[in-house]
Protein backbone atom coordinates (compact mmCIF):
# COMPACT_ATOMS: atom_id res chain seq x y z
CA UNK A 1 0.00 0.00 0.00
CA UNK A 2 2.86 2.39 0.80
CA UNK A 3 4.24 1.90 -2.71
CA UNK A 4 0.84 2.66 -4.25
CA UNK A 5 0.56 5.85 -2.24
CA UNK A 6 4.07 6.83 -3.22
CA UNK A 7 3.25 6.42 -6.91
CA UNK A 8 0.04 8.41 -6.57
CA UNK A 9 2.02 11.30 -5.10
CA UNK A 10 3.99 11.63 -8.34
CA UNK A 11 3.65 14.86 -10.27
CA UNK A 12 2.46 15.05 -13.86
CA UNK A 13 1.88 17.47 -16.72
CA UNK A 14 -1.30 17.12 -18.79
CA UNK A 15 -1.12 17.28 -22.57
CA UNK A 16 -4.03 19.61 -23.12
CA UNK A 17 -6.04 20.39 -26.26
CA UNK A 18 -8.99 22.12 -24.60
CA UNK A 19 -11.23 19.21 -25.56
CA UNK A 20 -13.17 16.59 -23.65
CA UNK A 21 -10.70 13.69 -23.79
CA UNK A 22 -7.78 15.61 -22.29
CA UNK A 23 -10.02 17.03 -19.55
CA UNK A 24 -11.46 13.59 -18.75
CA UNK A 25 -7.93 12.16 -18.61
CA UNK A 26 -6.92 15.01 -16.28
CA UNK A 27 -9.91 14.26 -14.06
CA UNK A 28 -8.93 10.58 -13.93
CA UNK A 29 -5.35 11.45 -12.94
CA UNK A 30 -6.58 13.77 -10.18
CA UNK A 31 -8.90 11.08 -8.83
CA UNK A 32 -5.96 8.68 -8.64
CA UNK A 33 -4.14 11.20 -6.47
CA UNK A 34 -1.46 12.32 -8.91
CA UNK A 35 -0.34 15.94 -8.49
CA UNK A 36 -0.57 18.22 -11.55
CA UNK A 37 2.12 20.82 -12.21
CA UNK A 38 0.72 22.32 -15.43
CA UNK A 39 -1.28 21.94 -18.61
CA UNK A 40 0.75 21.71 -21.83
CA UNK A 41 -0.72 22.87 -25.12
CA UNK A 42 0.57 23.38 -28.66
CA UNK A 43 -0.06 26.63 -30.53
CA UNK A 44 0.45 27.29 -34.24
CA UNK A 45 3.09 30.00 -34.53
CA UNK A 46 1.50 31.09 -37.81
CA UNK A 47 -2.12 31.46 -36.63
CA UNK A 48 -1.79 31.81 -32.86
CA UNK A 49 -4.39 29.09 -32.29
CA UNK A 50 -4.17 25.58 -30.92
CA UNK A 51 -3.34 22.76 -33.27
CA UNK A 52 -6.27 20.46 -34.21
CA UNK A 53 -8.86 22.26 -32.07
CA UNK A 54 -8.19 25.74 -33.51
CA UNK A 55 -8.79 27.52 -30.19
CA UNK A 56 -7.52 31.00 -29.35
CA UNK A 57 -4.67 31.14 -26.85
CA UNK A 58 -6.70 33.34 -24.50
CA UNK A 59 -9.42 30.65 -24.34
CA UNK A 60 -6.91 27.99 -23.29
CA UNK A 61 -5.32 30.40 -20.82
CA UNK A 62 -8.73 31.04 -19.28
CA UNK A 63 -9.28 27.28 -18.82
CA UNK A 64 -5.91 26.85 -17.11
CA UNK A 65 -6.65 29.81 -14.84
CA UNK A 66 -10.14 28.54 -13.98
CA UNK A 67 -8.75 25.09 -13.17
CA UNK A 68 -5.90 26.66 -11.21
CA UNK A 69 -2.91 25.33 -13.17
CA UNK A 70 -0.12 27.04 -15.13
CA UNK A 71 -0.24 26.76 -18.94
CA UNK A 72 2.92 25.64 -20.73
CA UNK A 73 2.89 26.50 -24.44
CA UNK A 74 4.78 24.81 -27.26
CA UNK A 75 4.52 27.37 -30.06
CA UNK A 76 5.56 25.83 -33.35
CA UNK A 77 4.92 25.17 -37.01
CA UNK A 78 4.65 21.77 -38.67
CA UNK A 79 8.43 21.74 -38.76
CA UNK A 80 9.88 21.36 -35.31
CA UNK A 81 6.59 20.31 -33.69
CA UNK A 82 8.11 17.38 -31.81
CA UNK A 83 11.13 19.37 -30.64
CA UNK A 84 8.93 22.21 -29.34
CA UNK A 85 6.76 19.74 -27.44
CA UNK A 86 9.82 18.11 -25.90
CA UNK A 87 11.20 21.49 -24.80
CA UNK A 88 7.88 22.15 -23.03
CA UNK A 89 8.10 18.71 -21.41
CA UNK A 90 11.53 19.61 -20.07
CA UNK A 91 10.01 22.74 -18.50
CA UNK A 92 7.38 20.52 -16.84
CA UNK A 93 10.12 18.17 -15.68
CA UNK A 94 11.92 21.12 -14.10
CA UNK A 95 8.65 21.86 -12.25
CA UNK A 96 8.80 18.37 -10.75
CA UNK A 97 6.74 16.33 -13.23
CA UNK A 98 7.85 12.76 -13.83
CA UNK A 99 4.83 11.82 -16.00
CA UNK A 100 3.05 13.29 -19.00
CA UNK A 101 -0.58 12.21 -19.31
CA UNK A 102 -2.48 12.19 -22.60
CA UNK A 103 -6.14 11.80 -23.55
CA UNK A 104 -5.64 9.38 -26.44
CA UNK A 105 -7.95 6.38 -26.47
CA UNK A 106 -6.99 3.68 -28.95
CA UNK A 107 -5.11 4.94 -32.02
CA UNK A 108 -1.75 3.20 -31.88
CA UNK A 109 0.18 5.85 -33.84
CA UNK A 110 -0.91 8.44 -31.26
CA UNK A 111 0.25 6.24 -28.38
CA UNK A 112 3.62 5.80 -30.07
CA UNK A 113 4.00 9.56 -30.57
CA UNK A 114 3.14 10.18 -26.92
CA UNK A 115 5.61 7.56 -25.74
CA UNK A 116 8.40 8.78 -28.03
CA UNK A 117 8.12 12.33 -26.73
CA UNK A 118 8.32 11.19 -23.11
CA UNK A 119 11.19 8.79 -23.71
CA UNK A 120 13.15 11.55 -25.45
CA UNK A 121 13.19 13.62 -22.24
CA UNK A 122 13.29 10.83 -19.67
CA UNK A 123 9.67 11.01 -18.51
CA UNK A 124 6.98 8.38 -18.10
CA UNK A 125 3.81 8.30 -20.17
CA UNK A 126 0.30 7.72 -18.82
CA UNK A 127 -2.81 7.24 -20.96
CA UNK A 128 -5.70 7.02 -18.46
CA UNK A 129 -8.34 6.36 -21.16
CA UNK A 130 -6.37 3.84 -23.19
CA UNK A 131 -8.39 1.08 -24.90
CA UNK A 132 -11.62 1.84 -23.08
CA UNK A 133 -14.97 2.03 -24.86
CA UNK A 134 -15.19 5.32 -26.75
CA UNK A 135 -18.91 5.56 -26.12
CA UNK A 136 -18.54 4.81 -22.41
CA UNK A 137 -15.89 7.52 -22.13
CA UNK A 138 -17.99 10.24 -23.73
CA UNK A 139 -20.88 9.35 -21.42
CA UNK A 140 -18.54 9.36 -18.39
CA UNK A 141 -17.42 12.85 -19.40
CA UNK A 142 -21.02 14.10 -19.65
CA UNK A 143 -22.28 12.30 -16.53
CA UNK A 144 -19.34 13.64 -14.48
CA UNK A 145 -20.79 17.12 -14.91
CA UNK A 146 -18.47 18.57 -17.54
CA UNK A 147 -19.88 21.03 -20.05
CA UNK A 148 -18.39 21.38 -23.52
CA UNK A 149 -19.39 22.85 -26.87
CA UNK A 150 -18.68 21.49 -30.35
CA UNK A 151 -16.15 23.82 -31.96
CA UNK A 152 -14.99 21.87 -35.02
CA UNK A 153 -16.61 19.32 -37.34
CA UNK A 154 -15.34 17.31 -40.28
CA UNK A 155 -18.02 18.09 -42.86
CA UNK A 156 -17.61 14.65 -44.44
CA UNK A 157 -19.18 13.21 -41.29
CA UNK A 158 -21.18 15.93 -39.53
CA UNK A 159 -23.05 19.03 -40.67
CA UNK A 160 -22.38 22.64 -39.76
CA UNK A 161 -25.49 22.59 -37.55
CA UNK A 162 -23.53 20.68 -34.88
CA UNK A 163 -21.26 23.67 -34.26
CA UNK A 164 -21.94 25.44 -30.98
CA UNK A 165 -24.05 22.59 -29.59
CA UNK A 166 -23.46 21.47 -26.02
CA UNK A 167 -22.28 17.88 -25.80
CA UNK A 168 -25.13 15.95 -24.17
CA UNK A 169 -26.33 12.36 -24.30
CA UNK A 170 -28.96 13.49 -26.80
CA UNK A 171 -26.35 15.08 -29.05
CA UNK A 172 -24.19 11.95 -28.90
CA UNK A 173 -27.19 9.99 -30.20
CA UNK A 174 -27.51 12.43 -33.10
CA UNK A 175 -23.78 12.08 -33.81
CA UNK A 176 -24.14 8.29 -33.87
CA UNK A 177 -27.23 8.51 -36.09
CA UNK A 178 -25.19 10.58 -38.54
CA UNK A 179 -22.78 7.64 -38.80
CA UNK A 180 -19.94 9.31 -36.90
CA UNK A 181 -17.93 7.93 -34.00
CA UNK A 182 -19.65 8.93 -30.72
CA UNK A 183 -16.35 10.14 -29.27
CA UNK A 184 -15.04 11.74 -32.47
CA UNK A 185 -11.79 9.82 -32.08
CA UNK A 186 -11.06 10.02 -35.82
CA UNK A 187 -11.54 13.78 -35.92
CA UNK A 188 -15.26 13.79 -36.78
CA UNK A 189 -15.71 16.56 -34.23
CA UNK A 190 -13.82 18.44 -31.52
CA UNK A 191 -15.03 20.14 -28.37
CA UNK A 192 -14.02 22.93 -26.03
CA UNK A 193 -14.63 22.26 -22.33
CA UNK A 194 -16.00 25.35 -20.58
CA UNK A 195 -17.08 24.09 -17.15
CA UNK A 196 -17.06 21.10 -14.83
CA UNK A 197 -16.26 19.78 -11.37
CA UNK A 198 -12.56 20.71 -11.54
CA UNK A 199 -13.30 24.29 -12.69
CA UNK A 200 -13.44 27.09 -10.12
CA UNK A 201 -15.80 28.99 -12.44
CA UNK A 202 -17.08 28.61 -16.03
CA UNK A 203 -15.09 29.89 -18.99
CA UNK A 204 -16.51 33.09 -20.43
CA UNK A 205 -16.67 33.14 -24.22
CA UNK A 206 -18.47 34.85 -27.05
CA UNK A 207 -19.44 33.19 -30.33
CA UNK A 208 -18.26 35.33 -33.24
CA UNK A 209 -19.65 33.10 -35.98
CA UNK A 210 -18.72 30.04 -38.00
CA UNK A 211 -16.02 29.41 -40.59
CA UNK A 212 -15.93 26.80 -43.34
CA UNK A 213 -12.43 25.95 -44.52
CA UNK A 214 -10.78 22.95 -46.19
CA UNK A 215 -13.68 20.60 -45.52
CA UNK A 216 -14.07 21.57 -41.86
CA UNK A 217 -16.52 23.76 -39.99
CA UNK A 218 -15.26 25.91 -37.12
CA UNK A 219 -17.03 27.77 -34.34
CA UNK A 220 -15.19 31.04 -33.87
CA UNK A 221 -15.14 32.00 -30.20
CA UNK A 222 -13.26 34.64 -28.24
- 157-210 confidence digits (pLDDT tens): 999 999 999 999 999 999 999 999 999 988 999 999 999 999 999 999 999 999
114 and 142 housed in the same domain: no
Q: Which is it for the CA torsion 39, 42, 47, 51, positive or negative?
A: negative
122 and 139 housed in the same domain: no
Residue 216's pLDDT is 96
110 and 66 housed in the same domain: yes
74 and 91 housed in the same domain: yes
Query: Domain containing 6 — which CATH number?
Result: 3.40.50.620
98 and 7 housed in the same domain: yes
3-state secondary structure at position 158: coil
Q: What is the pLDDT of residues 65-118, one digit of tens each?
A: 999 999 999 987 777 889 999 999 999 999 999 999 999 999 999 999 999 999
Residue 205's pLDDT is 95
Residue 71's pLDDT is 97
Q: What is the pLDDT of residues 113-145, one digit of tens each?
A: 999 999 999 999 999 999 999 999 999 999 999
Residue 76's pLDDT is 79
144 and 120 housed in the same domain: no
Taking alpha carbons only, the member of 111, 59, 220 closest to residue 39 is 59
- Distances from the Cα of 159 to the Cαs of 113, 148, 155, 167, 214, in angstroms? 30, 18, 6, 15, 14
Identify the domain boundary among 101, 126, 151.
Answer: 126
141 and 211 housed in the same domain: yes
121 and 32 housed in the same domain: yes
Taking alpha carbons only, the member of 34, 40, 28 closest to residue 89 is 40
Identify the domain containing residue 197 by its residue range: 134-221
Identify the domain boundary among 69, 93, 126.
Answer: 126
Query: Domain containing 185 — which CATH number?
Result: 3.90.1490.10
55 and 84 housed in the same domain: yes
Identify the domain boundary among 72, 96, 126.
Answer: 126
Query: CA 5, CA 3: separation in Å to the nearest integer?
Result: 5
26 and 74 housed in the same domain: yes
- Distances from the Cα of 26 to the Cαs of 22, 190, 198, in angstroms? 6, 17, 9
Q: What is the pLDDT of residues 4-49, one digit of tens each?
A: 445 567 999 999 999 999 999 999 999 999 999 999 999 987 777 8
Q: Within 13 Å, how many C-alpha atoms sit on residue 75's CB side? A: 8
97 and 50 housed in the same domain: yes
11 and 118 housed in the same domain: yes
pTM of this structure:
0.93
Residue 7's pLDDT is 57
Number of CB atoms found within 10 A of residue 203's CB:
20
Task: Give the total number of structural domains in the chain.
Answer: 2
Amino acid sequence: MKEVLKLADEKFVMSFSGGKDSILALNRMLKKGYKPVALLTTISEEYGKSWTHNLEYNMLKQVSSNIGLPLLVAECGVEGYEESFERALIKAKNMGATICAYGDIDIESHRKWDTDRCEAVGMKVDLPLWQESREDLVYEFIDSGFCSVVTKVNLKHLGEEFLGKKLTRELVEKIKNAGADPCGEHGEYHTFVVDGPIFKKPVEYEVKGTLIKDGYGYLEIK
